[in-house]
Structure 1
Amino acid sequence: MAFKMEGPVQNQMAVTLLNGQRHADYEGDNTRFNEKLPNKRRVFIQTENGCVLGMELERKDNAHTVKRRMQLTLNVPTDESSLTFGDVILNNDLTAIKHDSALLLTKNLIHRSSSTPCLSPTARSLQQKDQSGIIEIIGHCTNSSHFTITNELVEEMITALKNAIDPIPVNGGLGGAYYFRNINGQSVAIVKPTDEEPFAPNNPKGFTGKLLGQPGLKQSVRVGETGFREVAAYLLDHDHFARVPLTSLVKITHSVFNLNDCVNGNKIRNKKTVHVSKIASLQQFIPHDYDASDHGASSFSISDVHRIGILDVRIFNTDRHAGNLLVRKGNDGQFGEVELIPIDHGLCLPECLEDPYFEWIHWPQSTIPFSDSELEYIKSLDADRDSEMLRMELPMIREACLRVLTLCTVFLKEAAGFGLCLADIGEMMSREYRCKNQEPSELEVICLEAMKEIMDDGNNSKIKSFSCMQSGLRKKGGGNGRVRAEVGGVRTSAEELVGTPTSFVKVGELTEKEWRMFLETFQELVGPALAARKVSRVSIKNNLRVGRSCQF
């Protein structure tokens, strides 16, 4: 029987178990936890069920030898598994894989079944094979200050762990998260394991049922990849413009992490003694007084709202709600103008355009024109440079996500240069909901028109496939070419939770040549659309744009 990709995962959700005594970090070993061995590269292999195994690559190693080592650990034939690095399936050559990279090992679809475990290791085998320390920084960091600060934070956490100051689980939210503390018991970081995200195999709050790499809470964001996006948002926050807290990707081991009740069918009797290894995002904890949902927006500065909104537009944040905006009072501790700190960016940079959620659209600050300094910042943004930076720092991030970043950056720069305010820009990116009908956003309409022009120019059949996206749409209304979608039926609670699968624009399916042609055509069309927006601004204010947040 074929494995059902969207079906529940039962008793086959694997975890990595590491013997705590094996890690010298708890015993005060003088060896640095992130020491690099000469002529070797360290990588972290994660399976679709959440197992994590650190290993050293020799110069001569290739994808086959890596899978062979994993076979010895997981007992899965090499011809039944694939080693992937973001969008790329690694068939042989590994020379492009940098030190401290995270790879994903999946079982080939043809070999999956609902009755056999997927890549489930034993504790003993992983104890013998893992070659990494208690906390390892993942990624190739070219920003020396970023690495230095992260390294200091990690060492602070390790010192506390050596002194038996354990992390504390975070009760709120849909995914697993943990406060890590310093020697004084103060929270210094929040760690979010990738395999404890909503719907991931080891989610501690009951939202399980999918493997890493499958569509998750948002259809355009895959399970296990929100941590990459958390780091990307920090790296894209140039000059700390929006105040995104320091964020890094790490491999981390501790008994506090959630794991399944069984590994290879055997019950774990004492979870407190089992050290579980995870790949996770690590974000510096920012002391604050409350979040934006606890207080009205009247005390928020125009500058703070604009700065966060500019970031959200660039990264196409699909879940900016008041709960992920921390509020910090002034030095006097009194109510008045406060400082906003944005967190939780795991649902940004989707693989295709969908419906974003911008809480600040409803705030009066977003209707105020941008200041000269804000316009200068927007003008300085370079989408190509940002994409190259992310390819270097987070090479596992998918190319489709980088194209969304480029598209949104171009749109932001054009709209701001045209004199539109933040609220106008956010509304043009948001879809409208009328009764049961969902309509493409104005941004999506421009993209669809650009796709149509390329298709009409007689390009290859792959471009023409985009006409399929428009077959379910019908035009209606005032002759302005506005395309609107008809989505029938009432959503169930489950459908609401995972989000609508509707996607009108998928730039990731274009070849590089087609993408460049699309981008040029988009830039030609966006000007007239922005002009029309300014003319119709008053009437559009009456449209209903409710959006949906993933906050529950």
Structure 2
Amino acid sequence: MESPISNKMSVSLLNKRRVFVQTENGCVLGMELERKDDAHTVKRRMQLTLNVPTAETSLTFGDILLNNDLSAIRTDSPLLLTKNLMHRSSSTPCLSPTANALQQKDQSNVVEIIGHSGDFTETKELVDEIVIALRSNIEPVPVNGGLGGAYYFKNLNGESVAIVKPTDEEPFAPNNPKGFVGKVLGQPGLKQSVKVGETGFREVAAYLLDHDHFARVPLTSLVKITHSIFNLNDCVIGNAIQNNKGVSKIASLQQFIPHDFDASDHGSSRFPVADVHRIGILDVRIFNTDRHAGNILVRKVSDGEFGRVELVPIDHGLCLPECLEDPYFEWIHWPQASIPFSETELEYIKSLDANFDAKMLRKELPMIREACIRVLTLCTSFLKEAATFGLCLAEIGGMMSRQFRFSDQEPSELEVICLEAMKQVMGLSDTEEQIDEKDSKFAKSAMVNQTRALSYNQVGLGKKGRGKGRVKACANGVRSSAKESVGAPTSFVKVTDMNEDEWRLFLAKFKELVVPAMAARKISGINMRNNPRIGSSCQF
């Protein structure tokens, strides 16, 4: 019979949750929360360490502002503590007296996995390998390339087994080691639609969404990790922080894949068609805004100069943006992308379930923003419709990419379809004055900023005139709209402007419009090879 003392200890453990609270400057504190604890409790504990008045801070968990209740927070969740906008300085605030105390109060393990995936066996094995090497004084090594901070962690044999990317060392983040600083966590970063400090979540999301290891995304997890090698800029923590214990960071941890070179080192002619297709399918689903040749690893799988190779995609921190913008697909002009999908690939695309993926991401990465999940849902729907219609990968990527027209930035074909779907869902008229004051925020922004120059016939989706003339009219109409709405737009389509009912109606209308748009593209004979695109890579 179990003793009363044992019962009390079990109940006490069940009532506790461990969370990792990160300041906007990158400092991290792991703390145990009782069931009765609320947001004010967390702030008070952080106040003891950071000396920031509670009234001047906000505690957030993804999209959720935690005013009091913490019931939505699971154990091992990362929270972000930021200064309120009215108190935020334009420069990165200095917190030099706080970091030593922060590390002394946090009694975490050297590496702790954040989140609760269904199977963390491989991740745990990788973490154990790293910890054993660290205890044997085998030190990690900084990665020289890229714009952000990254580190090779090794095993007992001195071989690189993982790459760690701290979230506060991203480009523009406060502790970036390469001079790209100037923002705090939670502000727009390299891409306006990806906030600083959130690329690590996206790295993990890409791995989780690569079902059956279809595109070979390496094992990736979110961790809290402590080491003295991590960068700490003087303005954030002061010179006194460099101690033997090191500093704790929230970071993405990705398995290192031994390889021979990357796709930028050689021409693409030797790349297997299936590998290009599988990476492209993933990129379309997750709306990758930075698929350049440098983040496609190439490894030889047979001997000889002309032996077989396989491709491994890495660096997915700029996927799943919060709104549609211009993606960057390196493979869009490769000859393999113009070859039709195989039956295996078509079956895989057919099996994709956007609702399942959305639920999975909400469970595994509850801090990821709902807008990112909507982009995934939209792009998965688009991919499935396009594959069924018979478009090849290059055509799909072409419809998602913006073009140069007289040096103006114009919405992509995908964005044009979305704009028309939004317009029809909201039943907008052609003038701003006719919008009722009680219309939703989405209706107003869609009218004022996005759909002013669009009409159903201009988009080329009506029952009449699905030929070249309509496509040209669409381009002219959209150019005018783009000029009026935004000077240098990152997005013409913001999925967050819709409430849940509008979002469901939008998806249904989108599916109605997308096939006629594809038919119009076929008739017009648009060729991506002769159409320069506007997108550019961040080489991140």
Same fold? TM cut 0.5: yes
Instruction: Report if the CA contact (8 A) 2:171-2:190 is conserved.
Output: yes
**Residues 219/283 of structure 1: CA separation in 2 closer, same or farther (3 Å cut):** same
Instruction: Report if the CA contact (8 A) 1:292-1:325 is conserved.
Output: yes
**Residues 120/415 of structure 1: CA separation in 2 closer, same or farther (3 Å cut):** farther
| 1:8-43 C-alpha deviation (Å, 9 max, x unpaired) | xxxxxxxxxxxxxxxxxxxxxxxxxxxx95431111
Q: CA deviation at 1:156?
A: 0.4
Q: CA deviation at 1:299?
A: 0.7
In terms of mean alpha carbon deviation, does 108-117 or 541-550 score higher? 108-117
**Residues 112/545 of structure 1: CA separation in 2 closer, same or farther (3 Å cut):** closer
Alignment correspondent of 1:267: 239
1:166 aligns with 2:148: no
Corresponding residue SS for 1:281: strand
Instruction: Report if the CA contact (8 A) 2:95-2:236 is conserved.
Output: no
Q: Which amino acid aligns with 1:196?
A: E
Alignment correspondent of 1:324: 295
Alignment correspondent of 1:537: 525
Q: Which amino acid aligns with 2:448?
A: C
Alignment correspondent of 2:262: 291
1:140 aligns with 2:116: yes
Alignment correspondent of 1:462: 441
Distance 1:121 1:473 in 2: 55
Q: CA deviation at 1:192?
A: 0.3
Instruction: Report if the CA contact (8 A) 1:83-1:106 is conserved.
Output: yes
Map 1:51-200 to 2 at 5 A: 51-113=27-89, 117=93, 122-142=98-118, 144=119, 147-200=120-173
**Residues 411/471 of structure 1: CA separation in 2 closer, same or farther (3 Å cut):** closer
Higher helix share: 2
Distance 2:527 2:225 in 1: 53
**Residues 186/540 of structure 1: CA separation in 2 closer, same or farther (3 Å cut):** closer
Alignment correspondent of 1:502: 490
Alignment correspondent of 2:227: 254
**Residues 70/232 of structure 1: CA separation in 2 closer, same or farther (3 Å cut):** same
| 1:431-490 C-alpha deviation (Å, 9 max, x unpaired) | 0013421111000000000111122268924232111222786899944434433678xx
Corresponding residue SS for 2:251: strand
Alignment correspondent of 1:310: 281
In terms of mean alpha carbon deviation, does 159-168 or 540-549 score higher? 540-549
**Residues 253/529 of structure 1: CA separation in 2 closer, same or farther (3 Å cut):** same
Instruction: Report if the CA contact (8 A) 2:185-2:196 is conserved.
Output: yes
Q: CA deviation at 1:51?
A: 0.8
Alignment correspondent of 2:357: 386
**Residues 310/540 of structure 1: CA separation in 2 closer, same or farther (3 Å cut):** closer
Distance 1:112 1:120 in 2: 17
| 1:261-300 C-alpha deviation (Å, 9 max, x unpaired) | 2556x4338x363501110000000000000000111111
Corresponding residue SS for 2:307: coil
Instruction: Report if the CA contact (8 A) 1:56-1:131 is conserved.
Output: no
Corresponding residue SS for 1:425: helix
Corresponding residue SS for 1:268: helix
Corresponding residue SS for 1:224: coil
Q: Which amino acid aligns with 1:193?
A: P
Q: Which amino acid aligns with 1:387?
A: A
**Residues 118/410 of structure 1: CA separation in 2 closer, same or farther (3 Å cut):** farther
**Residues 376/528 of structure 1: CA separation in 2 closer, same or farther (3 Å cut):** same
Instruction: Could you list the structure 1 runs, at least 4 aligned residues long, displaced by more than 4 angstroms after superposition.
Output: 118-121, 471-477, 538-541
Instruction: Report if the CA contact (8 A) 2:39-2:67 is conserved.
Output: yes
How high is the TM-score relative to the length of structure 1?
0.87
Q: CA deviation at 1:123?
A: 3.4
State the Cα RMSD in Å. 2.2
Map 1:363-512 to 2 at 5 A: 363-456=334-427, 460-465=439-444, 466-470=446-450, 478-480=469-471, 481-482=474-475, 483-485=477-479, 501-512=489-500
Q: CA deviation at 1:109?
A: 1.1
In terms of mean alpha carbon deviation, does 385-394 or 335-344 score higher? 335-344
Distance 1:302 1:537 in 2: 24
**Residues 63/370 of structure 1: CA separation in 2 closer, same or farther (3 Å cut):** same
| 1:306-354 C-alpha deviation (Å, 9 max, x unpaired) | 0000000000000101100000012325433310000000000000000
Corresponding residue SS for 1:273: coil
Instruction: Report if the CA contact (8 A) 1:230-1:247 is conserved.
Output: yes
Pick from 505, 519, 536 the counterpart of residue 517 of structure 1. 505
Q: Which amino acid aligns with 1:184?
A: N
How high is the TM-score relative to the length of structure 2?
0.89
Instruction: Report if the CA contact (8 A) 1:450-1:518 is conserved.
Output: yes
In terms of mean alpha carbon deviation, does 63-72 or 408-417 score higher? 63-72
Q: CA deviation at 1:538?
A: 5.0
Aligned residues: 502
Pick from 324, 333, 340 the counterpart of residue 362 of structure 1. 333
Distance 1:379 1:79 in 2: 51
